[in-house]
Chains A and B, each alone.
Chain A
Amino acid sequence: MDGNPFLTEEQKQRYQRQLSIPEISVDGQVRLRNARVMIVGLGGLGSVSSFYLAAAGVGCLRIVDHDTVGLNNLNRQILHSTLDLNRPKIESAAEKLQRLNPECLLEPVRARIGEDNGLDLAEGCDLVLDATDNPATRHVLNRISLARRIPLLYGGINGWNGTATTFVPGETGCFACLFPSKDLKTPATGVPALGAAAGVIGSIQSVEAVRILVGMKPALANRLVKFQGNSIQFRTVHVGRDPACAQCGPSGGD
């Protein structure tokens, strides 16, 4: 986007508390301003990550969701309110995000992401933030990430718990390395979900996105973090690339 290496007086004030973080400072803030992030899903996870990334000064958020706001969303999808019932989530989200940070360019897309439109939707994006609610869509995001060679920040929740990791094409394994099975299903009635668990995982994804955008190494590359909310514990598992992976291995599209 713009090559301006300076911040306005207003930006210096708005981002004052993060400009004093050494790894961010003015340089990182300008990087954030020049970044475009695609957030897929504006539910429990996307409510949190879109809000934090808009607040942090990410220049452009391409927010993608096909759904409307339902009453059973509101225990966890904190970007939407009771007044938003039946509105498209992208419309409700864009309104709140714009109000939070008028400088954030919002690119709302009302669509169900799939093989047919995914690659085009990610054009120009620096990373894909997964805020979806099913493994099948995550496999689509994985193929977009590999084809565009941009990081995919996976996050998911179930009940009290949540999981997150980062896939960087060429550096780490991919979603299909970890979850090659095509038989991953979520119940038709929806996965149980405590709002605050989505808050934890959405926040982890937001921290990771900021790290990557300001030029730091992804903290969750080759590392999967599992949050167990009913005992408030984090576990970390070292993960890696599967040389035999059908997606990113020699026989895949990489």
Chain B
Amino acid sequence: MTAGRPKISVQDLAVSYGRVQALKGLSIDILENEILTIIGPSNSGKTSFLRCLNRMIDLDLQARVNGSIRLGETDIRRGLTPEDLRKRVGMIFALPIPLPLSIRDNITYGPRMSGLRDKAGLERIVEESLRAAYVWDEIKDRLEQPALKLSGGQQQRLCIARTLALDPEVILFDEPTSGLDPISTAKVEEAMRELRKTRTIVLVTNNTKQAARVGIRTAFFLMGEMVELGPTEDIFTAPRDQRTEDYVVGRFG
């Protein structure tokens, strides 16, 4: 499957925390229906980059952001409120964080906050998003139970379902499987591949093998710069930059 037009265009994006420069001006187009994986050692700016895309970085009062990001044709800083942006660009965190509510209320949290009250509609959203996150069959009989009672793997898929409940165009995954066992990881990856058909996915991962498995394109970040960007296969088999090669074969990182 080939990826389409640019979904998100990033121009000269720079982020700093006080005197520390986390991203040093990078430009990239994220294409429609692709899975862009971002690899790189810690402190390479991967997560800062991701958090710029849905303006979650605004929550960090230390962070200074420069440059422009467009979602489709809209500048995300001028044309959208952060709330509307985050409904269109969802995020999955490294650790599954169910809210201390029932499974059902977790899923409907986003839609309810956007003002959806229609019971049948919410019910449909619950089923559809849990199905899409490959967790419906396991938990459909206990939707009233606290979400915190689920296993780690189920919790992370619940979190994916919760994000899907808002029907986002783009989903940002921030090391979503770092705390999961291999089987749960496989299920999350399967969900990502399926979601890609209708959405755009950006995946930050510390696990280079995961990037090789699911990425359509892969970007290698190092110390706030994008060293290399290309089709995933090329990055892993024929990297152009020596630093990329050193990282993917495991010489550092």
Do they bind each other? no
